[in-house]
């Protein structure tokens, strides 16, 4: 991963929003026609963790974690401006702006359109998206803007290490601000299940494959298992919308309502990070990936934690899945914008 860029967007990644949309329709359809199946799946849980959904989440996350190279940390001091932008945006701005937008829209602008309890859960789901910085798709965004692949890897690795320690307390803090009681045991269990275990599995897999320093073995392995990640994501979407089929049919406008603050957040965060990089005279090969990393979300983690904390049928889970639907077209539009404005940045 440190010697060559990942493959460009394949048909699944490029049209991910379409596949997600089809899975939403499929999930809602099956949820209405065969609700008993989804009720049975929903009952298969242990310690507030649904076993079927957890399996799909692991299948989804593991291939991404294989890309994380801890050896890249030796380059952490190189090009500090780009890393500084990413870290400040991801951990000091983005979570708080997402919470603020959620509260603004669902407690004020949309207050008459949703119940108070639903509003809290939608806000919670958006907060989970805001607190989870992206891990995998950023490699693709970086390549599409011809960013520095090695430095992107440094940024992602540092973010993942911080996430291990900061995700749980920051999530609890922001959910507490919105008056949601957070069961710490469940939150910490989610971090262990969906961050530490996949990250550890990815580390040991990478170490075994890369024993001789041949990164091509890692590239071939991740290429082979990448389809499983897509399958895990799409299967999770089918399940989530199957669980919430009746709610969605009764309140179809809710997806559009959730999308509004998510869109504002995404474009606003990118403008802040990209503008900062421009004013700070950061080279484009570092500036564009830094802004895209700050904008993108680790929606797989957000979905998993929302399910663990609030349940499969919760508004929080629904909000995180809407994040999946919104993210890919938004990120592709930002990639296009970055490439069009590349001439305004220095090359070194």
Alpha-carbon distance of 191 to 202, in angstroms, equals: 15
pLDDT given at position 10: 64
Measure the CA–CA gap between 55 and 58, rounded to whole angstroms. 5
Whether residue 175 is contained in a domain is answered as: yes
Q: Is the pLDDT of residue 2 over 50?
A: no
Give the per-residue pLDDT at 64. Answer: 72
Asked whether residue 347 is assigned to any structural domain, the reply reads: no
Residue 211 domain boundaries: 11-339
Task: Note whether 12 and 19 are within 8 A (CB).
Answer: yes
What is the per-residue pLDDT for 76? 65
Answer whether residue 5 is part of any domain. Answer: no
pLDDT tens digit sequence for 298-314 = 877 888 788 888 887 78
Q: Kindly report, residue by residue over 74-112, the tens digit of the pLDDT.
A: 766 777 898 999 999 999 999 999 999 999 999 999 998
Residues 6+ apart with CB under 8 A from 39: none
Cα-based distances in Å from 102 to 95, 131, 132: 11, 13, 16
Inside any domain, residue 1: no
Q: How far, in Å, CA of 45 to CA of 96, rounded?
A: 32
- Classify residue 96 as exposed, middle or buried by CB count within 10 Å of its CB (0-12, 13-18, 19+): middle
Domain membership of residue 253 (yes or no) is yes
Q: Within a domain: residue 113?
A: yes
Mean pLDDT of the chain: 84
Burial class (CB in 10 A: 0-12, 13-18, 19+), 151: buried
Whether residue 346 is contained in a domain is answered as no
| Count of domains for the chain | 1
Instruction: CATH number of the domain at 244, please.
Output: 1.20.1530.20
Q: Is 191 part of any domain?
A: yes
Residue 256 has φ and ψ, to the nearest 5°, of -65, -40
The pTM for the full model equals 0.80
Read off the pLDDT of residues 211-246 as tens digits, 9 standing for 90 and up. 656 677 888 888 888 788 778 878 888 887 888 788
Q: What is the reported pLDDT for 291?
A: 94
């Amino acid at each position: 991963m440190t010697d060559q860029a990942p493959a460009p967007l394949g048909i699944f990644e490029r049209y991910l929003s379409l596949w997600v949309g089809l899975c939403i329709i499929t999930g809602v359809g099956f949820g209405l026609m065969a609700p008993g199946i989804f009720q049975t799946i929903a009952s298969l849980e242990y310690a507030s963790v649904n076993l079927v959904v957890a399996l799909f989440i692991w299948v989804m996350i593991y291939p991404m974690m294989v890309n994380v190279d801890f050896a890249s940390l030796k380059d952490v001091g190189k090009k500090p401006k780009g890393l500084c932008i990413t870290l400040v945006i991801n951990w000091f701005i983005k979570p708080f702006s997402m919470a603020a937008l959620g509260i603004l829209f669902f407690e004020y602008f949309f207050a008459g359109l949703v119940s108070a309890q639903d509003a809290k859960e939608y806000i919670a789901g958006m907060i989970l998206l805001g607190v989870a910085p992206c891990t995998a798709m950023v490699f693709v965004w970086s390549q599409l803007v011809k960013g520095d692949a090695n430095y992107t890897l440094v940024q992602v690795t540092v973010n993942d290490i911080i996430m291990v320690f900061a995700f749980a307390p920051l999530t609890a803090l922001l959910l507490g601000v919105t008056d949601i009681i957070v069961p710490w045991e469940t939150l910490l269990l989610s971090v262990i299940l969906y961050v530490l275990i996949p990250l550890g599995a990815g580390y040991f897999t990478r170490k075994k494959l890369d024993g001789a320093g041949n990164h091509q073995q890692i590239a071939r392995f991740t290429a082979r298992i990448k389809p499983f990640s897509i399958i895990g994501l799409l299967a999770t979407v089918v399940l989530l919308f199957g669980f919430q089929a009746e709610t969605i049919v009764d309140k179809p406008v809710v997806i559009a309502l959730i999308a509004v603050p998510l869109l504002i957040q995404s474009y606003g965060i990118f403008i802040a990070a990209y503008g900062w990089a421009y004013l700070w005279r950061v080279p484009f090969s570092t500036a564009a990936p830094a802004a895209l990393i700050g904008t993108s979300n680790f929606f797989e983690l957000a979905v998993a934690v929302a399910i663990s904390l609030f349940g499969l049928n919760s508004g929080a889970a629904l909000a995180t899945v809407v994040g999946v639907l919104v993210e890919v077209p938004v990120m592709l539009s930002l990639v296009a914008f970055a490439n069009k404005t590349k001439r305004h940045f220095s090359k070194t």
